[in-house]
Chain A
Amino acid sequence: MEVEKLLEEALKQKEVTRRTFLKMMAGLGLAGLAGSVGGCLRQHEVAAGGEGWLPYQYDVAGTWPAHVRGRVPIDPSNPSIMRDDRKCILCGQCLEICHRVQSVYGYYELPIRDDIVCINCGQCSLACPTGAIQERDDTEKVLKALKDPNKFVVVQTAPSIRVALGEEFGMPPGTWVTGKMVAALRRLGFHAVLDTNFAADLTIMEEATELIKRIKGELPGRPLPQFTSCSPGWVKFCEYFYPDLLPHVSSCKSPQQMFGATVKTYYAEKRGIDPRKIVSVSIMPCTAKKFEAQRPEMISARKYWEKKKGPDFAKDVTRDVDIVLTTRELAKLIKQAKIDFPRLPDEDFDPLMGKCTGGAIIFGASGGVMEAAIRTAYFFITGKEPPPQLLDLKPIRGLASVKEAAVDIPGAGTIRVAVCQGMAASRQVLDIVRAGKAPWHFVEFMACPGGCESGGGQPRSSVPQANEVRAKRTASLYAADARWVWRESHENPDILKVYQDFYGHPMSELAEELLHTHYTSRADKLKAIQPSEKEKPWEQYYPARLTPEI
């Protein structure tokens, strides 16, 4: 019946266009299929669809993919990521990674409250095969600032982007492009090209000091183990799902924010630049950094100037970090400016906040913050340079999701540390801490599997992000560390100078004001669901390496 009708309809058409022909053929197929399922096209007493016409315009599916699944919810006002629905093919990869690797989606009860829970990590943007999910594009803001003659635009570059930026220009993963990156930034017109690595060394000075004070019991209300605080995705995760553990999180700001607070105070004073004119831009491997820079408390340079020159002056000092671009956005700027990146000469960072150590370089890989902190803590405790095995701390390097090590430091005994990457895997360590059974003194958490080198803003050299790419970028970071003049953060001459001339000593009053912060529980934003004991969905991606006894 349907077949006849369709043919009739088709014949009535004055001309059989390609579209109507395809529709007719597909309709025949559909009708045939329905017929054979229903029993060889026999006459029904009541035809499917009831008496009367069947609408022909619905009978062909549109661009309907073979496999469709739901996708992750994204708040249109999310500061980090956005989605172009026209590109979405409902493959469900974003949901998969958010749920299984980050344990965010699906780990809170419904109905939701007044938040679309997201830790801004951007891992979904690395998993999305069509590029529908991207970072929120802030390149226009940077171009505008660069064109403004009244602004002094400084830029900082995170440790991990120099081993990935080259991939956007056809270089193999892990290619070391620091010199070219600096040259490109100068050609884009930035007034000062400085290094987040400097601030990573600064972070280690502060964080190692804090760790020692915690171990000695000098910081009441701040228990062991100390948790790292440089991954803003991780910090937000802790605020959502483990708010009871926030006292464990180091009060140190992340390198990006330490840099921002220092550049608008110390750097401005040293170079005699009006802090109100400084636009502080950062290039990050991370979409969560866009969120971090907008946190309400991250505006401490203004407070500094308020004390110094009064509120009238200070009100025009903007955020410590004004604009955050991802590695991908920087690549876009370079391409738009038609800069031939691979042919650029190698150039050096500007003075004052441009030097770094190997300890800062390895911040870009999972385990790096921990290793750098151990090196400097060893020096702070013993007054001696760490032994060679501490400069190559193999147990906490690599792509296992949870790693452990125990380090003997004379005068402090055995220091036990753990390193976690990916939030789902981190839960097992967090649950041990919550149960009060943690053997560790210090735990590093990175929201993204692999650490910053595989952050949500890095080039999409393979989709989804492959461990081969991760391993190459990581290897390049450790190779640079091995060949660097200085290996330990306290050896950085720029760091010695900033303490001598400005901060005094780690955790001084001024350092507390500019380099340390506090956290907010987000428990009121959701009702968390605890994963079951047995469920370890991340294991198939990143097996854990828990070493019970070392």
Chain B
Amino acid sequence: MKGVLVDITRCVGCGSCVVACKLYNNLPWSNAPHLGKDAVLTADNWTVVKEFDVSKGKESVWRFVKEQCFHCLEPACASACFAAAFRKTPEGPVIYNERVCVGCRYCMIACPFSIPKYEWQARFPRVQKCQMCFYRVKDGEMPACVSVCPAGALKFGDRDALLKEAKERIAQNPGRYVNHVYGEKEYGGTCWLYLSDVPFEQLGFRTHVSTESIPHVSERVTKWTLPVAGGWAAVLTALYLATKGSGGAEKSH
């Protein structure tokens, strides 16, 4: 199982990773900001680098957080999808098949990190999110974004080894990091792991979360399937009309 270790203390906010993702995945540039304080994940922004101005002790510091799909070990999106359009690969990436997807967007409801985004403006909308450069990872290459990071903030490898390294970095640099590897246990663990020197809750991470995976959450969700299914077309249409032209649907998260 592969993973990526993001060391927030090393990120300089250059945005190389964001451009790499756009280029590699042929994603269009949209008006939704991909860098800075207002950066937001959208159907076209599979990854963004978000700026947080926080205080660390007496110092005020800028921190940059690369956001993208966490690639959960037991992904809620996959368990919520009755069409099986999401699946977890043994290599790590959680991938999506647009041919199988029926557009119900249960994955979006199920994802504890609100990662999957919907192409609200497309004629045949897809759900979009970071695919962890599946074909690269499958061939043993690092994801596109990791390959360009000039500051050494991103490291690709076996998740177990990365987790070990993350803990070593914490142990060997006393005072540099908060004593937590985000993604080790959150929602049952994720392939993308984060190290930080300021508390994660100040950097937009969802903390105090369940450490169990959430198939039961998705079960609850699937129970709604039939009653909701009848109305979903109407809901979808309403949502589409409500957001059409605004381009801002994704921001409401």
Contacts and interface: CB of A to CB of B under 8 A. Distances in A.
A58 B60 contact: no
Interface in B158-191: none
Contact of B139 (A37, A73, A88, A111): A37
A71 interface: yes
Contacts, number: 128
Given A53-B100, A76-B36, A85 B19 contact: yes
B150 A68 contact: no
A50 interface: yes
B30 to A, nearest CB: 11
Contacts of B27: 62
B95 interface: yes
A75 to B, nearest CB: 8
Contacts of B96: 55
A90 interface: yes
B170 to A, nearest CB: 14
Nearest to B198: A111
B196 to A, nearest CB: 9
Interface residues of B, number: 53
B14 A72 contact: yes
Contacts of A62: 22-27
Nearest to B176: A111
Interface stretch (B86-94, B212-220, B233-241): B86-94
B91 A48 contact: yes
B111 interface: no
Q: Please report whether the interface of chain A is mostly helix, strand, loop or mixed according to DSSP.
A: loop
Contacts of A48: 91, 138
Contacts of A115: 62
A45 to B, nearest CB: 12
A72 B126 CA distance: 34
B96 to A, nearest CB: 6
B18 interface: yes
A70 B150 contact: yes
Contacts of B15: 71, 73, 85
A85 B29 contact: yes
A30 B61 contact: no
Q: Please report whether the interface of chain B is mostly helix, strand, loop or mixed according to DSSP.
A: mixed
Contact of B61 (A55, A59, A111): A111
Contact of A73 (B8, B14, B148): B14
Nearest to B13: A73
A412 interface: no
Nearest to B34: A85
A111 B197 contact: yes
Interface in A37-63: 37, 46, 48-50, 52-63
Given A62-B23, A114-B61, A50 B87 contact: yes
A114 B14 contact: no
A219 interface: no
A112 B34 contact: no
Contacts of A46: 90
A92 B138 contact: no
A110 B12 contact: yes
B24 A70 contact: no
A115 B61 CA distance: 8
B90 A63 contact: no
Contacts of B61: 111-114
Nearest to B138: A48
Contact of A92 (B12, B90, B144, B150): B150
A55 B131 contact: yes
B62 A114 contact: yes
B9 interface: yes
A68 B99 contact: no
A90 B23 contact: yes
A388 interface: no
A145 interface: no
B135 A68 contact: no
Contacts of B201: none
Contacts of A69: 16, 148, 150
23 contacts: A30-B135, A49-B95, A50-B89, A53-B87, A53-B97, A55-B96, A55-B131, A57-B97, A58-B95, A58-B134, A62-B22, A63-B26, A70-B150, A71-B150, A72-B14, A73-B15, A76-B35, A88-B19, A111-B10, A112-B13, A112-B61, A112-B62, A116-B13
Pairs A-B, 4 closest by C-beta atoms: A70-B150, A62-B26, A73-B14, A111-B9
Interface of B: 8-10, 12-16, 18-20, 22-27, 29, 34-36, 53, 59-63, 84, 87-91, 95-100, 126, 131, 133-135, 138-139, 144, 147-151, 197
Given A50-B87, A90-B20, 4 more contacts: A49-B90, A58-B135, A73-B12, A89-B23
